[in-house]
Structure 1
Amino acid sequence: MKRDRTAVIDALLKSDEPSVRWKVITRVVGEDPESRKVRQLQEEIRTSARTRALIAGRDRKFIREAHVYATWRGAHWTLAMLAEIGYPAGDESLLPMRDQVLDRWLDSSFYMEFESKSAVPKNRSAEGVPIIQGRYRRCGSQQGNALYSITRLGLADKRSDGLAERLMHWQWPDGGWNCDRKPSAHISSFNESLLPMLGLAAHAERAKDNTARAAALKASEVFLSRRLFKSKTDGKVISPHWVRPKYPRYWHYDMLGGLVAMAEMGLINDPRCADALDLLERKELPKVGWAAQGRFYKVSTSMDTSAKFGSISTVDWGGAGNARRNEWVTADALYVLRAAGRV
């Protein structure tokens, strides 16, 4: 049943944060993403304080290869968050960061592989992707996230197509990816499979690559067959963390992230999304929106690259708290409910 959430939508449309307004205008209200109004809003995003903080310090020292994946301030994560907040596509000033990311995730070691019969390969110095029990043990979320963000930012080219090739090469029989080196691991990881699925779907749309589209749809069954958060065997919640929405999710999975992915891929009306949609509606704070029930980051504006990073973000994403609205989580929730015909 559709619910009237006009007051919540209106509140987000008045947000001080242009990226929140962009999410709502394009994904909930339904404004044409190519309209003059949206383009003007994206220019506001380009020059916003949030964007300046995300990009700040991107000199050669800061984005050297060793820091590409620094949590959560390396070039990898900066591109991911710029894509997430609606930064305008095709900005060539981002090319140095893109190239740093591609250098890392298309390194020659990712084209090498070796067989192993144990969780810890006997040759610990061996470079390459291990194959255990016939399955590639690779953290696909890394190449997947890079492919997704680079494509959404309009920076994809023939070189970034190599990310899609690697992901399809490593895909498991059930459709996903997993870097668990235990020989007993035989089911794909939700954490490692969501971003490769989205990356391949975005790549398939840009490159008109039917093989990549098929691979993305195959990956979607990892989630849909488990109703996005339930065990196939007994129907119980697989992880309590998955039913507590957070923002940003970075490489972590939760059921709201799963729903956003299904909406982006045009699969939100699959009946197997219904349980997650129902749960999302039950989590709604009356006349307010949705809360972030936890977070993965700490906020620091320091650009001291000599210190250990930890899980540091240069911007605040609205914090967490079970009884207060988080604008980012609310915007995502409204998007999937609108896509499912529930708004």
Structure 2
Amino acid sequence: MTVTDWLLDSDPSIRWQVLRDLTDAPGTEVAAERSRVASEGWGHRLLALQQPDGKWPGNTPNFSSDKASEWWHSLDSSRQGTLFPEWTSIAWSLTLLRGFGINPDEPSVRDAVALVHKNARWEHDGEPFFSGEVEPCINGRTVALGAYYGIDITPVVTRLLGEQMADGGWNCEQENGSTRGSFHTTIEVLEGLSEYDRATGGTPQLSEAIKRGQEYLMARRMFRRLSTGEPINKDRQTGTTSAWTQFSHPTYWHYDVLRGLDYLRAAGATPDERLAEAIEVVRGKQDAQGRWLLENSHPGELHFPIDDGDGAPSRWNTLRALRVLRWHDQAAG
């Protein structure tokens, strides 16, 4: 079995992306396979779990402090289940469906999004879901979801454009005095702005913000400190060593090299020599069968497994790595 055959022997959410990104299948074949995501496999299963109030079932969050736990329990029930718990709340369930590439025009998907639009409120201060929140990392994801599912998300985009930092990045700690961008926040915002750009056709201001954000990543060669050139071996948010050169899926709000490169590919960026080292990190992880492993699953619960666990070959990581290498190598000629 070739690696392509192995990938195709999977869920429709993977198959249609393999057809589009790796085999150059005809558009009609790709669209037919994509249409199955809402009616078969993981996409259908996740849609079916949504409750009448728009939420997805999940356990009480396991907060790291008593203060956070007390805050959660003090909330009205209508403000629980939007961002927390990780990773079964509304935000993450919609994100997973987007990652599956579910067609937003399918009636079952429109119905699911309408329930969220009507009922969901952020835990922070009860803001309506598609009105966004206060942190740019959350708002970047909100823009990605709104743009993908056909919701007018322009006010949140305007806010994010006004929050871009001098170095081209964004940081959720801006309100606490941070003056430097964050890889985690920047990738969240870039994915959102690029999704909005695709959905609306964009503006010169939006294009410039996206370009500056991409330069933030590329100037740091996707995983190095700009100040010293040293690799960022420890994630200050999680304490994980070598986290950004270990590949996860789903990535949730976490940055890693493969996520950053796959974003640039999807956004239509042109690779240059500053990506060479990151590309070789990806290339060097391919095993003898042409596959990539799942290396760094993030703590928390999924609704159901979509991979075979850390240390096992991952169809999701393999798909993303192969299309990143194809994008880079085709550009290099």
In the alignment, structure 1 residue 82 sits paired with structure 2 residue 97: yes
Match of 1:217 in 2: 211
* Aligned equivalent of 2:114: 96
* Matched-pair contact (CA < 8 Å) for 2:285–2:292: yes
- Does residue 25 (structure 1) correspond to residue 19 (structure 2)? The answer is yes
User: CA 1:220 to 1:105, structure 2 compared with 1: closer, same or farther past 3 Å?
Assistant: farther
Aligned to 1:271: 273
Does residue 67 of the first structure (1) align with residue 81 of the second (2)? yes
Q: Deviations over 1:264-320 (max 9, x none)?
A: 1222522211111011101111124101112015xxxxxxxxxxxxx2210212143
Contact 1:268/1:336 (CA < 8 Å) preserved in 2? no
* Matched residue SS, 1:313: coil
Counterparts of 1:145 and 1:89 in 2: how far apart (Å)?
16
AA in 2 matched with 1:291: L
Aligned residue for 1:333? 321
Cα offset, 1:105, TM superposition = 9.5
The answer for the alignment partner of 1:38 in structure 2 is: 30
Kept after mapping to 1: 8 A contact 2:137/2:186: yes
Whether contact under 8 Å (1:80, 1:146) holds in the other structure is: no
Task: Please identify runs of 4+ aligned residues in structure 1 that moved more than 4 A.
Answer: 100-103, 105-110, 181-184
Shift of 1:226: 0.4
Question: Do the aligned partners of residues 38 and 148 (structure 1) sit closer, same or farther apart at CA in structure 2, a change above 3 Å counting?
Answer: same
Find out whether 1:238 has 2:253 as its counterpart. Answer: no
Q: Which residue of 2 aligns with 1:317?
A: 306
Distance, in Å, in 1 between the alignment partners of 2:116 and 2:142 is 9
Change (3 A) 1:101 1:243: farther
- Pair 1:139 & 2:139 matched: no
TM-score for both structures, normalised by structure 2:
0.79
State the distance in 1 between where 2:184 and 2:202 align: 24
Contact between 1:139 and 1:192, CA under 8 Å: does it hold in 2? no
Aligned twin of 1:135: none
CA deviation string 1:66-119 (max 9, x = no partner)? 211121111111111111111012232133244158854997979xxxxxxxxx
Q: Distance in 2 between matches of 1:106 and 1:98?
A: 16
- Could you give the per-residue CA deviations for residues 235-286 of structure 1, whole angstroms, max 9, x where no partner exists? 2211310000010001100000000011112225222111110111011111
How many residues in Structure 1 have an aligned counterpart in Structure 2? 293
Structure 2 Cα separation of the partners of residues 342 and 233 of structure 1: 31
Structure 2 vs 1, CA of residues 152 and 182 (structure 1 numbering), >3 Å: closer, same or farther?
Answer: closer
Report the counterpart of residue 66 of structure 2 in structure 1: none
Paired residue secondary structure (1:46): coil
Q: Pick which of 275-284 and 20-29 moved more.
A: 20-29
Partner Cα separation in structure 1 for residue 254 and residue 327 of structure 2: 23
Shift in CA distance, 238/205, structure 1 to aligned 2, threshold 3 Å: same
Pairing of 1:156-175 with structure 2 (within 5 A): 156-157=151-152, 160-175=153-168
Q: How many Å separate the matches in 2 of 1:101 and 1:335?
A: 37
CA distance in 1, matches of 2:33, 2:174: 45
Deviation at 1:151, TM superposition (A): 2.1
Give 1:197's aligned amino acid: L
> Structure 1 pair 21/321, CA: closer, same or farther in 2 (3 Å)?
same
Given that residues 87 and 301 in structure 2 are in contact (C-alpha distance below 8 angstroms), is that contact kept between their aligned partners in structure 1? yes
Cα shift readout 1:170-222 (whole Å, capped 9, x = no counterpart): 22121221122696732111111102112112212322222212111111122
CA distance in 2, matches of 1:108, 1:162: 17
Q: CA deviation at 1:49?
A: 3.2
Offset, 1:150:
2.9
| Equivalent residue number for residue 228 of structure 1 | 222
Paired position in structure 2 for 1:117: none
Look up the match of 2:51.
58
Q: What stretches of structure 2 of length at least 5 have no aligned partner? A: 57-77, 234-241
